[in-house]
Amino acid sequence: MHSQQSISQWTALAVMILACVNWVNAHTIIVYPGYRGNNLHTNGSVEEAGGLGSAYVNDTTIYPYGMQWMYPCGGMPTSTNRTKWPIQGGAISIQPGWFQGHATAFFYFNLGLGAIPPNMSNPMLPPFQIIGPSANPYPGTFCLPQVPLPAGLTVNVGDLATIQVIETAKHGAALYNCVDIEFALPEDCVKVTQDNCFNSSDIAFADIYEVNVTTSAAPPSLMAPGFTPISFVTLITMLFAGLLI
């Protein structure tokens, strides 16, 4: 089981993959608790696929835009081995990578229920933005130490689910990655430490704003009346306090 593997193995695998696929323009790796598998893969051409994100050509599935662009889990099937994850929520650590030419991205964390979820329609967190050091692909890491279950959801030890992580660029295109989990008691899960859950100094977080369109059709600025900031710092504080669980 993945839960029996050390996180140092996950980290070493992630670093190795990043070192070996420098031709990839974008990538996301779920370092903790793990991910379905290596989908840092691009093959075929847009012409061969007829403009589709994936196509079956000459007995081979091609991904001209890369596997990670494919909903819901970056072109990867459900895992046969599952990672144990706490029944009250737990840590998620990400190597976000970067879209070539984009130094910012939005992140979404969703949960799909069951052995093979019919959808990933259960948000675990409000979306937030990360800001990188440049427009080049970047293998830094960020970690959320306590990601809660979706509001109102109760699970039991042994229940199966899938965590979906989505990274979107400023033009709206998205990368998808998943980890298939089995809910377990915290003591039966891989321990979270400073080695597998840390935030790189080069990655910053930013607020996302929402506008009340009933009060202002065209607000002059992001600080205009009707905008409510969602502070990532406040979010993390609430997570530690257990207010979102």
One domain, residues 6 and 65? yes
State whether 172 and 230 are in the same domain.
no
105 with 182, same domain: the answer is yes
Structurally, the chain folds into a number of domains equal to 2
Same domain, 148 and 30: yes
Element (H, E) at 237: helix 232-241
Tokens 């997570």 belong to residue:
239
- What is the SS3 assignment for 14? helix
List per-block mean pLDDT (blocks of 10 residues) for the chain, which spans 245 residues.
Answer: 44 40 59 91 92 92 92 93 95 82 86 96 93 76 94 95 92 91 96 91 81 56 43 50 42
172 and 244 fall within a common domain = no
Output the pLDDT for position 211.
66
Q: Hey, what's the torsion of the CAs at 38, 34, 114, 63, to 10 degrees?
A: -20
Residue 232 confidence (pLDDT): 52
One domain for residues 37 and 150: yes
- Based on the fold, state whether residues 83 and 134 are members of the same structural domain: yes
Domain CATH for 124? 2.70.50
Q: Which domain holds residue 224?
A: 207-245
**Looking at residue 134, what DSSP letter applies?**
S
CB count in 10 Å sphere of residue 112: 21
Ramachandran bin of 172, using left for φ above 0, alpha for ψ from -120 to 50, beta for the remaining angles: left
Work out whether strand 204-206 and strand 128-131 pair parallel, antiparallel, or are unpaired.
antiparallel
75 and 145 part of one domain: yes
Q: Both 119 and 168 in a single domain?
A: yes
For residue 91 the two structure tokens come to 């840590």
Q: Which pLDDT does position 175 carry in this prediction?
A: 92
Residues 241 and 163 in one domain: no
For residues 129 and 208, the answer to whether their CB atoms sit within 8 Å is yes
Per-residue pLDDT, 140: 81
